[in-house]
Structure 1
Amino acid sequence: MSAESHPTLPPVRLHSDAELARDALGAPLFARAVRLARWAGPATRVGVGGELAADQLPGAAAHLGLDAGDENAAGYASRAWRVAVDTGLVDVTEPEGDTAAEEGGEAGEEPYGTAAPGEDLALVTGGAPADVLGLWRAALEAVLADAAVPDLDGLVDALDAGGEIDFDRLDWNPGREADLLDEVLAHLYLLSVAGGRTSDRQIPLPVLAASVVVPDGMGEPTDAVLEQVSDAMMRLDDQFRQLEPIGLVEFRPVDEELMARPDEDAGRGDRAGDDEDDEDDEDVSRYGMVRLTPLGLYGIRARMLEAGVDAPAVGELAGKGADALLDAVSSYPEHAAQAEIEQWMAGREPSAAVAELLAAARGDDEGGPLRRLRCQQALALAGPEAEGAVRAVLDEAELGGLARVWLAEHGVTGVPAPAPEMVFWLTVDTIAAQLAADGETEELPLLMETLTAHHTGFFDQVWRVRHPSTVQVLEAMGRLHPDRKTAKEARKAAFKARSRRS
């Protein structure tokens, strides 16, 4: 997972470690691996790679409660055993030499090693939630490695005369395939956390495939690109089928009826993902739908952190200072900033917390307006006990305006009226914060209109405000103000403010 691809991601809401550990233990593949680890004993025989002997697979499948008539039962048992070995739930001793002959068996008989429950198995019931999650993450890595391998038919077709895999014939590069799967999961994570709807965010499979295939800036995809999207979608369909049993995703596979005409339908699916009004939800879902589970969000975030990606989680700033809080949440979406601020405020003495927030909100740097906006958001959570801390900044140019707003909202009387300079400074600061937070939104012109309507001769005064964002704000008002005459006055005021600086 590339840190360059997603240098900073929106914060994610994670479940507690205890909840995630329960989810991990309930993941079908991990649960089967645990059961086989407990089943392993002196009579368990393994091959050179630690795999179960073929004649023991039916017994393993029966121990897991799999239907003996299911042709896939042995495969499910074999896969669970590999996970148990790869995670350390089972310790194996691989065979050395012709063990069968040494023990009096027939010469040439395949040698076997032994297996026994591993030390880590005790962590499943006796360890902390973090220990269980560590085991689950090891299992996840094993499953991801398997998912990056082509299907068995492709491997058989690519065997050369010497029985070795011809990677050129297979057109498969192990490193490239693993990187592509990492990129897909990074996109899925980003799409899941964007907007904060991580609990029900289902992503159409063609949209996910297109996100890693279609070049940036391409308008209408070409037929060749749509064919690549179709191929990627079919590959993802197979991979997500493998990833679902470990609890990473909830997955609705591609409708089998569409498999006969993937090129045409994958293109339609991609367009449906771009404009969901063209088809109803049921039609879109036929092309496959995937959602990261809460455990999946945890797992992918952990992998991204290891890769150096900044992937914040709501609540991780609760123990840090107000300066770190305001700097971080300044770049968060509104809902995420609110959630982080609420956790930071919880358990703190309100008056001291408000004083610390106000101190951190000061500054005439570029990030100052947005810090004060988030500070105001935090102050909204404080009750009357914070009045003293708020009153203490009434005379400060940077904080006096927002302090008066808070006191007025709480019905405090006897607050001195602000000087005109402070009013105009607060106006500039407010618009600058909105521009920094959301850009030029549809709501911003209405805010500008409201602010200017309450002040006679607004532009005769505001260009003189000694705020680092005065020129930027006036230029934005000149572009966005709904009244043409007022917009022209804003442009003239911006010219005066630039001239004064020069």
Structure 2
Amino acid sequence: MSADRPTLPPVRLLSEAELARDALSAPLMSRAVRLARWAERGVPVGAGGEILHDALAAATEHLGLTADEDGPACTAEAWQLAVDTGLVEIEETADADGTTAGDGAGPADDAAVGTATPGEELALLTSGSPQDVLDIWLSGMETVLADAAAPDLADLADQLAEGGELDLDALDWNPEEEAELLDGILGNLYLLTALAESPDQSIPLPALAASMIVPDDMDEPTDDVLEEVSEAMMRLDDQFRVLEPIGLVAYRPVDEALIEELDEEGETVRAAEPLTDEDVSRYGLVRLTPLGVYAVRARLLDAGADAPAVGDLTGKGADVLLDALPDYPEAYAQAESEQWLAARTPLDAARELLGAARGDDEGAPRRRLAAQQTLSLVAPDAEAALREVLDDRQLGGLARVWLAERGLPGIPEPSQEMIFWLTVDTIAAQLAGADEGAEAELRDLVQGLTEQHSGFFDAAWRVDHPATADVLEAMGRLHPDKKAAKEARKAAFKARSRQSN
């Protein structure tokens, strides 16, 4: 995989039908749909398609938001989404100048320059496919993302009131940088979601902000970096409040008691409560919803990233499956294997897996281990395929394991050479995929093998396996007993000498 096409951990997606239901039930989308249907008799709109004052009041009442102080703003936001996604379409009114001002709450209805009625996209929500629904939602989501990356409206209003002109430089706001930063935040949130033990696991806002700001090689963040993280948290708090109604994230906002209250001159009026680690949720918690995972993955794919999802490999060959599975989390690897197997008969699947597991290349041990794990899910109907490879040097050992696990009769005893070959192959596979957390497990495995087999190293160095020397060197590094470790290193030297001759 090239460096300019990064590979991300796999994610598990809901079905398109489930995602479409989630999209339609997102508060902002749901309100937009209700308003589009409400517009059947025609709704007067301004030059940008914005809903006008009297119509806004009626729309707010239609949504049941009259008693909410933010009701008109929520209604206007939902209406704009309906316009942006084509749920309503605008027909311009002839000879309208749109110059009449209202009472300050919005343009008056006699400033109308057009009429909005239900658009073609609205019909797709009921007559179209789940993908049609998701396409409409994705279009709206892009609009909301743009809103989230925009500067604070209060800052804009203040600037316009003071100077009468919009000066982006004075706002210290760069549209491209803001959009890239939000893309980066969503990408990091996607990565953390993919690596989380549970899809419902929320990410603390400080950790998410720090992931974008604190350099990887910085042991202790400086005061300046911490201040930058704090500022980023406040910006993210605003952005996630905007993104939650469209269904992209589930967000618990920052506790306002943790934020300093400032007077007009910027002086502290009320100090923030002391920050402790006892209740991390007070700093803000966020997670991508299943719909959010789907959306961010779609954007990552458009950007050229390799963002796999469980089920992607169902139509691929066993060689592709076995190359990918070792890098999947255990639960996702099993789910991917189950879907791949479900598309084939047990016998055909077993033969394809065994064929793809062969090889002397560096990645072959990991493929064979993945094949063994996948074959453990195959029904006993595949017995014939496993018996066909009993004499195969590379596959005979795992075939015997499969047959024995099912209590099937007539399993020939493996030769000593086959036992040791399978042992080296298994350790090589685990070494190739081991991280720091797996080292203790490997150490126990190495110690157990040498305790169970006296003279293990004297026999192991003779094994005709490409990874024999590397495995023995690793055993020498990992074995807790100094004498055994020394024997392993000597055996590794012999194996290298043997391979070079």
Q: For the Cα contact (< 8 Å) 1:266–1:287, is it kept in 2? A: no
The superposition leaves residues 285-338 of structure 1 with CA deviations (integer Å, 9 ceiling, x where unpaired) of 011111211111111111111111111111221222211211111221222111
Comparing 235-244 with 405-414, greater Cα deviation is found at: 405-414
Match of 1:304 in 2: 300
Query: What 5-or-longer segments of structure 2 have no aligned partner?
Result: 100-109, 263-267
Deviation (angstroms), 1:43:
4.0
Q: For the Cα contact (< 8 Å) 2:5–2:304, is it kept in 1? A: no
Q: CA RMSD in A?
A: 2.4
Three-state SS of the structure 2 residue aligned to 1:305 is helix
Deviation (angstroms), 1:468:
2.0
Match of 1:138 in 2: 139
Comparing 300-309 with 449-458, greater Cα deviation is found at: 449-458
Q: CA 1:355 to 1:267, structure 2 compared with 1: closer, same or farther past 3 Å? A: farther
Query: How much identity, in percent, do the aligned residues show?
Result: 62
Please show how residues 193-342 of structure 1 align to structure 2 within 5 Å.
193-198=194-199, 200-260=200-260, 268=275, 272=277, 279=278, 283-342=279-338
Three-state SS of the structure 1 residue aligned to 2:440 is coil
How far apart in 1 are the matches of 2:84 and 2:138? 11
The superposition leaves residues 200-240 of structure 1 with CA deviations (integer Å, 9 ceiling, x where unpaired) of 21111111111111112111111111111111101111111
How far apart in 2 are the matches of 1:268 and 1:326? 48
Q: CA 1:65 to 1:288, structure 2 compared with 1: closer, same or farther past 3 Å? A: same
Deviation (angstroms), 1:156:
2.6
Deviation (angstroms), 1:390:
0.4
Deviation (angstroms), 1:434:
0.9
The superposition leaves residues 425-480 of structure 1 with CA deviations (integer Å, 9 ceiling, x where unpaired) of 11111001111223352111111122223333221222222222222211110110
Q: For the Cα contact (< 8 Å) 1:326–1:360, is it kept in 2? A: yes
Q: CA 1:168 to 1:100, structure 2 compared with 1: closer, same or farther past 3 Å? A: closer
How far apart in 2 are the matches of 1:214 and 1:95? 54
Three-state SS of the structure 2 residue aligned to 1:445 is helix
Deviation (angstroms), 1:417:
2.0
Please show how residues 95-494 of structure 1 align to structure 2 within 5 Å.
98-99=96-97, 110=111, 112-159=113-160, 163-198=164-199, 200-260=200-260, 268=275, 272=277, 279=278, 283-439=279-435, 440-494=438-492
Aligned residues: 480
Deviation (angstroms), 1:159:
4.0
Deviation (angstroms), 1:97:
5.8
Deviation (angstroms), 1:384:
2.6
Q: For the Cα contact (< 8 Å) 2:258–2:274, is it kept in 1? A: no
Match of 2:103 in 1: none
| Code of the aligned partner of 2:38 | W
| Code of the aligned partner of 2:176 | G
| Code of the aligned partner of 1:469 | A
Residue 7 (structure 1) aligned with residue 6 (structure 2): yes
Three-state SS of the structure 1 residue aligned to 2:116 is strand
| Code of the aligned partner of 1:48 | A
Q: For the Cα contact (< 8 Å) 1:45–1:114, is it kept in 2? A: yes
The superposition leaves residues 37-57 of structure 1 with CA deviations (integer Å, 9 ceiling, x where unpaired) of 112245422222121123321
How far apart in 1 are the matches of 2:219 and 2:420? 45
How far apart in 1 are the matches of 2:472 and 2:228? 48
| Code of the aligned partner of 1:29 | L
Deviation (angstroms), 1:400:
0.9
| Code of the aligned partner of 2:63 | L
Deviation (angstroms), 1:111:
5.2
Three-state SS of the structure 1 residue aligned to 2:439 is coil
Comparing 171-180 with 419-428, greater Cα deviation is found at: 419-428
| Code of the aligned partner of 1:27 | A
| Code of the aligned partner of 2:56 | L
How far apart in 1 are the matches of 2:414 and 2:224? 65
How far apart in 2 are the matches of 1:266 and 1:178? 32
How far apart in 2 are the matches of 1:367 and 1:157? 62
How far apart in 1 are the matches of 2:486 and 2:142? 60
| Code of the aligned partner of 1:163 | G
Match of 2:107 in 1: none
Three-state SS of the structure 2 residue aligned to 1:443 is helix
| Code of the aligned partner of 1:78 | A
TM-score by length of 1: 0.90
TM-score by length of 2: 0.90
The superposition leaves residues 80-133 of structure 1 with CA deviations (integer Å, 9 ceiling, x where unpaired) of 0111111111112356764479xxxxxxx7451221211111011111111111
How far apart in 2 are the matches of 1:421 and 1:427? 10
Q: For the Cα contact (< 8 Å) 1:425–1:466, is it kept in 2? A: yes
Three-state SS of the structure 2 residue aligned to 1:193 is helix
How far apart in 1 are the matches of 2:383 and 2:46? 73
Three-state SS of the structure 2 residue aligned to 1:32 is helix
Deviation (angstroms), 1:498:
2.4
Comparing 405-414 with 127-136, greater Cα deviation is found at: 405-414
Deviation (angstroms), 1:135:
0.8
How far apart in 2 are the matches of 1:132 and 1:432? 48
Q: CA 1:21 to 1:460, structure 2 compared with 1: closer, same or farther past 3 Å? A: same
How far apart in 1 are the matches of 2:470 and 2:21? 52
How far apart in 2 are the matches of 1:369 and 1:488? 25
Three-state SS of the structure 1 residue aligned to 2:35 is helix
| Code of the aligned partner of 1:36 | L
How far apart in 1 are the matches of 2:91 and 2:231? 41
Q: CA 1:139 to 1:388, structure 2 compared with 1: closer, same or farther past 3 Å? A: same
Deviation (angstroms), 1:412:
2.6
Runs of 4+ in 1 over 6 A off after TM superposition: 3-6, 261-267
Comparing 182-191 with 376-385, greater Cα deviation is found at: 376-385
Q: For the Cα contact (< 8 Å) 1:319–1:344, is it kept in 2? A: yes
How far apart in 2 are the matches of 1:172 and 1:127? 40
